[in-house]
Amino acid sequence: MIDRALMVRLEGYGLTTAEIHYYRPDAPSLLNLFVWQDYDLAPDFPVLFDFIDYWNRGIEGALHSIRIVHDQLVRPAEWRAARGDFRLG
């Protein structure tokens, strides 16, 4: 079985982290922080924007700001299949 994280990274996805600051529904003058993380495609971030749409529809806390960080360490162009056996000892 192949790991989901490896498969999505080979398709161009990278680990995306979003710091979401929102106003607390019970105390609108206070901000709270929610950290969201998933694999997503930069620069369009369709998975993140689906989550933000869900937030706007189903969660009472109004959004204040969002900071996005995206990891692109492994890309499809960097992956190569290796052939051979390596024996140690």
HEC profile for the chain?
CCCHHHHHHHCCCEEEEEEEEEEECCEEEEEEEEEEEEEECCCCCHHHHHHHHHHHHHCCCCEEEEEEEECCCCCHHHCCCCCCCCCCC
**Measured distance CA(24)–CA(15) in Å, rounded:** 27
Q: What is the pLDDT of residues 10-67, one digit of tens each?
A: 888 888 999 999 999 999 999 999 999 999 998 889 999 999 999 999 999 999 999 9
Global pTM value: 0.73
Domain ranges of the chain: 4-78
